[in-house]
Amino acid sequence: MKVLVLDTSAFIMGFNPTRPGEAYTVPAVEDELLRGTMTQLRFHVNKEKGKVILRFPSSRAMETVQAVSTKAGEKGHVSQADREVVALALDLKQDGQDPVIVSDDYAVQNMAEHLHLNYGSLANFGIAHKFNWIMYCPACHRRSTGPEKTCRVCGTELKRKVLSRSKISQANSVEMNPHDKTES
């Protein structure tokens, strides 16, 4: 059964699940929504009606996502909520569901692509390439794989660049139904 896993951007863009039990998200997404906004109100209404199910991802899925985000160079560029959304999609896939991550965040889409998870976006065209990123020092040209923001050798602020990229087949990208968006 196809189910949706909603990132914060899905709620911000006005996505409105239509059927109970078809959409999941993680509690960290709720924490990212600004208090007192229509976005937060829409989230709570959908949660109360059972159209959005809150679920924590397993620790095993979180470890997998953490490893992939590190390998892909996305570790310092995704929030905890983003990692949890991707991990929840992994859990749902493991449970025999067909999850589609709904996110306009390119880093989330890149991680989904690395994990062979389906994803769709609402406000952009989505990614065209799968990237592996590396942090490097523009002064001394040393590479860094850790989470640090400055070079351990010379203290210069690290920059991010593409280490490798490959064209995606669009097999994991799903066209989102514009009728699922609400008027804001």
Q: What share of the chain is helix, strand, coil (3-state, %, to 5)?
A: 35, 25, 40
Residues 66 and 49 in one domain: yes
> What average pLDDT is seen over the chain?
83
CA 60 vs CA 27, 82, 106, 111, 156: distances in Å: 18, 16, 24, 16, 36
Q: What is the pLDDT of residues 151-168, one digit of tens each?
A: 888 888 888 777 767 676
Residues 117 and 157 in one domain: no
pLDDT given at position 137: 85
Asked whether residue 111 carries a pLDDT value surpassing 80, the answer given is yes
Range of the domain at 50: 2-125
Residues 117 and 164 in one domain: no
Q: CA-to-CA distance for 19 and 22, rounded, in angstroms? A: 6
Residues 134 and 71 in one domain: no
Asked whether residue 52 carries a pLDDT value surpassing 60, the answer given is yes
What Rg value do the Cα atoms of the chain yield, rounded? Answer: 17
Q: What is the pLDDT of residues 23-46, one digit of tens each?
A: 999 999 999 998 889 899 989 999
101 strand-pairing partners: 5, 119
Q: What is the CATH number of the domain that holds 118?
A: 3.40.50.1010
Choose among 18, 26, 24, 30: nearest CA to 3.
24
